[in-house]
Structure 1
Amino acid sequence: MKRYLIALTFLVLFSFISTIISSKTYACSCGFQPDPHKALEESKAVFSGKVLEIKLQVIDVDGILESKKAVLFDVDQTWKGISQTQVLVNTNFGESSCGNEFKVGQTYLVFASNNDNNKNTIQTSTCSLTKEFSNSNLELNKIGQGVKPIENVNLKDTMNKMEYSNKLAYVKMVYHRLVKYHLTQVILVALIVVIGILVIKKRSNS
């Protein structure tokens, strides 16, 4: 009986933890890529730049965790939406999730959109016209020459704090899942655990 109660307690706890720790996954599905003129018009930002650094970024979206690549660019030219010398861009992990395979030191032409889940960044994907700058002659012939950014910034400190921000995202996720959505379950699990401990303790003393 004692072993049964211990096993039941751990089973309930495991099941509960599995429900509160959720992450979002993506499946890639793209339509036809637009003409460069239309892509420029529809994009939030268009620029060319060299990748300085890539890190994991964890974002809490109302209790659901999203894992993204945070890509820091040194901006060379800008066509739209960018006036600073550095910019942070999100993309998903892996081509199966429409994520761009950026490499540090490489220069890219980037077409980016709004990032609704992370207002401090913009995002891009393989569904956009984003590609290595050396392979973007067709797009450049259509959109013309960009201009140099005018505002000098350094976002290295933001990248250095990414690990702390990721831990904070987990804390926010637990808050959203526990307090907002699973308060009743929390109380129920707590009661089951307390009762289980009391029963085990009583049987041990008898």
Structure 2
Amino acid sequence: MVLAASGLVFLLPDCASACTCALEGGSQEEIVEGALSESKAVFSGEVVAVERGTSSFYDTVTLRASEVWKGPGRATLEVDVLKPCGNPFKEGRDYLVYAYGKRGLKTDICTETKPLEKAGADLAVLGDGERSADGGVLSDTSGGASVPAMVGVAWLALAASVLVVARLVRPG
């Protein structure tokens, strides 16, 4: 019995890691299509900032999107990266990002997120994504309403206020 128990010790791995994922099998096409359908956003872009979070769970990475296959068509996207098991994003490098999350975007090592130079097979399956008309980055960086739209809303509010005041002060 003791011999059997000590034999099991030698069969155990020499280290364990909390940062592993159960990878699904299948062809590259099946993997990419599955990742696309399970993700809230799929896009490629350059890392413009990495904010090391004070939280023990996430860092925030800001990317300038160049192509979007799924999710918000904004030029600048923030993604929370699970640490210490997240992808090691580096400023100035381009990535293909598969993000999930109900509130905000998140990614970790269990997604298909990778440096863009290693994403050739994924890009072949994904095909062309949404780009700006001139082939550059997408134009709306705020994720909210554009400045002209906000100015238009302000003018409408002002006009409505003038009409209300005019009705209130009109004699008779």
TM range (shorter): 0.5 to 0.7
1:31 aligns with 2:22: yes
User: 1:151: how far off?
Assistant: 5.2
Structure 2 SS opposite 1:35? helix
Of 52, 60, 75, 1:85 maps to: 75
Does the 8 Å CA contact 2:42/2:96 hold for their aligned counterparts? yes
Match of 1:164 in 2: none
Higher helix share: 1
Alignment of 1:1-206 (within 5 A): 27-33=18-24, 35-58=31-54, 66-94=56-84, 98-114=85-101, 119=103, 121-148=104-131, 152-154=140-142
Structure 1 SS opposite 2:37? helix
Does the 8 Å CA contact 1:75/1:87 hold for their aligned counterparts? yes
Structure 1: gaps (5+ residues): 1-25, 60-65, 156-206
Higher RCO (C-alpha 8 Å, min separation 6):
1
| Greater CA drift, 136-145 or 28-37 | 28-37
User: 1:28: how far off?
Assistant: 1.9
Q: Percent identity?
A: 31
- CA distance in 2 between counterparts of 1:39 and 1:92 reads 18
RMSD value, Cα: 2.1
Aligned structure 1 segments of 4 or more residues deviating by more than 6 angstroms: none
